[in-house]
Amino acid sequence: MLLNLHTHLLKKQANEQIIFNEIIPDAEEALEDFELQNTENWLSAGIHPWYINEKLSNSQLKKLAAIAKEPTIKFIGECGLDRLKGSPLSVQEEIFIKQIRIAEDVRKPVIIHCVRCYNELISIKKIVRPRVPSVVHGFNTKIEIARQLLDKGFYLSLGGALLQEESNALKVLQEIPLERLFLETDDKDISIMDIYQKAATVKGLSVEELEKVIFDNYLGLNL
Ligand SMILES: [Zn+2]
């Protein structure tokens, strides 16, 4: 099974298990009406840092808390921090920490969106000390940052950047221990098989071996 850890598209290939991301809406009416639609898929659900509504954030959090226990929801998130977009960082931090608390309550792992806020992410982990595991998704930043995150116990999910020569993600892939790796397509209309093939080649495995490693990583998050 090709586990696609994070996608915003419902398309899937044969033998692909997607974790489809549901964003808790930031508009009042959409938030009131929000219900999980795609319960036949595995899901992640969270308040994305671009879509925090400061006036409604308590209702957004309540909505998330209300659905977080649903068995189809496998991760809380994507949630996190983005220096380039969204609410002020202090607000993003507060909402992020509250979502980590929800994840702890339901004992589910967290999937993290992080743009140029890695120091803040590491300090939050140090302060909050979540017992649930965290995966930083769409990682495509310098190897030094990857090393720091791996050292602090984060998992990394790599995506479309693996298909570009000389990308940071490709350098990270060469170094990352297999037991911390996930693969994803995110919002791109690309084939998860292409990503598995590339990653398998770099790691010197068959695609089947890599499928098993990654699925075992997933199972290990939920112990
Ligand atoms: Zn995403």
**Considering only CA atoms, which of 68, 38, 31, 48 is closest in space to residue 186?**
48
Domain that holds residue 33: 2-221
How many A from CA of 18 to the centre of ligand 1? 13
**Tokens 């309550």, residue located:** 105
- Name the average pLDDT for the chain: 96
What value does the mean pLDDT take over residues 118-126? 97
**Tokens 């969270």, residue located:** 46
- The total number of structural domains in the chain stands at 1
How many A from CA of 165 to the centre of ligand 1? 22
CATH of the domain at 54: 3.20.20.140
Q: What residues have a C-beta under 5 A from ligand 1, the ion? A: 186
Quote the pTM value: 0.96
- Tell me what pLDDT residue 37 has: 80
- pLDDT tens digits along 133-171: 999 999 999 999 999 999 999 999 999 999 999 999 999
- pLDDT tens digits along 10-24: 989 989 999 999 999
Q: What percent of the chain has pLDDT over 90?
A: 95
How many A from CA of 157 to the centre of ligand 1? 11
Give, to the nearest 10 degrees, the angle between helix 57-67 and helix 89-106: 20
Q: What is the band of 223 on the pLDDT scale with cuts at 50, 70, 90? A: low
